[in-house]
A = this chain, B = another copy of it.
Amino acid sequence: MPIYLHDIPLSTAIERLNSALAEAGLDKPLQTETIPLDVHALGRVLAAPIWAKISSPHYHASAMDGFAIRAHETNGALQTRPISLNYGPQTEYVDTGDPLPAWANAVIPIEDVEPLGEDGQPSETPRRPALIRVRAAVPPWSHVRPMGEDMVATQLVLPAGHVLRPVDLGAIAGCGHDSVEVAIPPRVAILPTGTELVPIGHPPEEGDIIEYNSLVLAAQVEEWGGEARRYPIIPDEYQAISARVREAAQAHDLILLNAGSSAGSEDYSARVVEELGQLLVHGVAVRPGHPVILGLINAGDRKVPIIGVPGYPVSTALTGEIFVEPLLARWMGRSPRQPVEVDADLTRKITSPAGDDDYLRVTVGQVGERTLAAPLSRGSGVITSLVRADGIVVVPRGSQGYPAGERVKVRLYRPPSEIQKTIFAIGSHDLTLDILAQFLTGHDRRLASANVGSLGGLVSLRRGEAHLAGAHLLDPESGQYNLPYVDQYLPDQPVLVMALVGRTQGLFLPKGNPKDIHGLSDLKREDILYVNRQRGAGTRLLLDYHLGQAGIDPEEVAGYEREEYTHLTAAAAVASGRADCGLGIEAAAHALDLDFIPLFNERYDLIIPKIHAESQLLAPLLTILEDPAFSRTIAQRPGYDVEVMGTVIGEL
């Protein structure tokens, strides 16, 4: 049976799902249960409103330690003309929370009276005196918590659909309940499929993919209040998948069938759904993630919704957010989660397919007065783009993208307070930044770094789009690092140039140096494929400078046009055999267990506009540069010289 994958708009897909759910009676809250009122009720969703069973307080309570009295008996009392009240008939000691005696209508705090003994002297037993002397009239109901001050029996305390927080549990107990009726967590079956999958913990061979989508989905379901069951990996066999879906439908409210939702040779999901029930949607115009399947499985007289979740991890996670969360919310009777939104300016141009709702991952930071959103990798296989994301910008269907500087709405993944603590670093990449990021978390700061090369970093600083830039720009004329470039690119900004590290640049080679490479001159050889860094990278400038010195034309270097954006990915290109050699720092070679020919020593600086260098936000960063624990950690990595760390190279 041919399955046709055809993308429809997200809103249409949701409508189609909703009307099928309504028809099947699955558009309302599912079952409820009554549970004891204890800490396990935290986070559960109220299935029925809480009406107060008793008032709180349920009697008139003293609000202070003091003496219960009849207010009118103090009328006329003055500082100079006190009134005495006899213990017993006229006054009685009460602690905070004690019931007011039936005859009393006010309390005087103990510190405002003089408890006296029979002899008229201060009483030896001030809480059981013979009489008290009062020097001011007391209004009725002073220092009394009247019955019902907090809650009056029968009033609404909390509505159904409310997610229980700690104080709610207190209020529910206070108005006389000892149990609560809550939504039962919807049961969600998660079925990973794919012959190429191996479970977490199995060292993967080439071609194996570590199956973690089911973990991400299960964790999402649990976070949203559902109960997840992860099934073992199912191979790409129609019968096996079909049998497992039928089994899962028996005891679950929702099935998530991960991958196989596209139209490839081993994509059976749509066919399984069609044969076991009703295929509602195959293909939704969202990016990433469009081969989504929505359907219903017949399980006896029940119908069980099934979602075919696309296999790329970013698609998987976003499908969870878009389709699973609202469904769980509805089944538990709570509102769907709504992210905090902020306005931010895009740091670069974005193009987007006009036919799709495009979910763009961004990091967000506050630089001066501006809130900025820097787009992250758009690959649907790049789960770190979600890990690093501070939020999502949805480029709606109908739009082909936005120019740089466009004001966009960001749906935040992190609280705005974390955005305020984010240091935006842009420019050249160095492994030291990872370690700096780690140290900064200990100082309540977060480092978001984007790798655009040294020159790109200076351009960003000029546009006011970063707090600092890492750079290692060799000026061929003066032999100086960075300062001439800062002069040229940031003529109008007071800037601090501070050394971070000295480091060794050289050639990455496969272990054992199979092609017998000895220096830059080998790059001319026809059998050598080089991997380059991108234009504007300091390492690219370094190569060009030394190629020039050696009289080598870049045209002669095979692979010169192949660009990587970081030392590590350039090293990875060599490690994987995609290139025979590349230029980069020793630490990267070491990290990927490559051979390394050291060629040049260079200095890597932090370029920090003064306005940021003197800010509260960056203060911890400057502290860390003086922390011996930090320099020790860096010095342990090969190819780093920490002698210069923290030295002010220039103030411009």
Which residues of A does B touch, CB under 8 Å? 37-39, 42-43, 49, 54-61, 63, 65, 95-99, 102, 105, 127, 140-141, 145-162, 165-171, 173-174, 176, 178, 194, 196, 200-201, 203-204, 206-207, 209-210, 212-213, 215-220, 222-223, 228, 230, 262, 264-266, 311, 313, 317, 320, 335, 338-341, 379, 381-384, 386-387, 413, 415-418, 421, 431, 434-435, 437-438, 441-442, 444, 562, 566, 568-569, 571-573, 575-578, 591-592
Contact = CB atoms under 8 A, between A and B. Distances in A.
A148 B383 contact: no
B155 A568 contact: yes
Given A168-B387, A206-B99, A438 B49 contact: yes
A387 to B, nearest CB: 5
B441 A159 contact: yes
Contact of A95 (B146, B212, B266, B572): B266
B417 A338 contact: yes
B265 A167 contact: no
Given A145-B381, A201-B178, A170 B213 contact: yes
A571 B156 CA distance: 16
Given A313-B174, A387-B158, A568-B154, A576 B216 contact: no
Nearest to A96: B264
A37 B222 contact: no
A37 B341 CA distance: 31
Contacts of A387: 157-158, 167-168, 171
B99 A207 contact: yes
Nearest to A145: B381
A443 to B, nearest CB: 10
Nearest to A591: B154
20 contacts: A39-B215, A54-B204, A65-B265, A95-B196, A97-B209, A141-B562, A145-B379, A146-B576, A147-B573, A148-B569, A149-B382, A150-B382, A150-B383, A152-B566, A154-B431, A159-B438, A169-B219, A173-B200, A176-B203, A338-B417
Nearest to A164: B219
A216 B170 contact: yes
A98 B443 CA distance: 43
B160 A441 contact: yes
Contacts of A200: 37, 173, 178
Contacts of A166: 215-217, 219-220, 223, 317, 320
A170 B381 contact: no
Main SS of the interface on chain A? loop
A169 B313 contact: no
B215 A381 contact: no
Contacts of A61: 381
Contacts of A43: 223
A222 B169 CA distance: 13
Contact of A317 (B167, B265, B415): B167
B154 A572 contact: no
Given A147-B578, A148-B572, A335-B444, A219 B264 contact: no
Chain B CB within 10 Å, residue with most, of A58, A149, A317? A58
Contacts of A219: 39, 42, 165-166, 169
Given A97-B209, A151-B384, A166-B220, 9 more contacts: A37-B201, A39-B215, A95-B196, A98-B207, A153-B591, A161-B441, A167-B387, A170-B212, A174-B212
A216 B161 contact: no
A150 B578 contact: no
Contacts of A578: 60, 105, 141, 146-147
A360 B329 CA distance: 32
A572 B152 contact: yes
Contact of A210 (B158, B160, B168, B174): B174
B222 A167 contact: no
Nearest to A60: B576
A55 B571 CA distance: 11
B576 A59 contact: yes
A209 B54 CA distance: 12
Contact of A127 (B97, B151, B265): B265
A570 to B, nearest CB: 10
Nearest to A266: B95
A421 B159 CA distance: 15
A212 B228 CA distance: 32
Nearest to A440: B159
Contacts of A155: 431, 434, 568, 591
Contacts of A102: 577
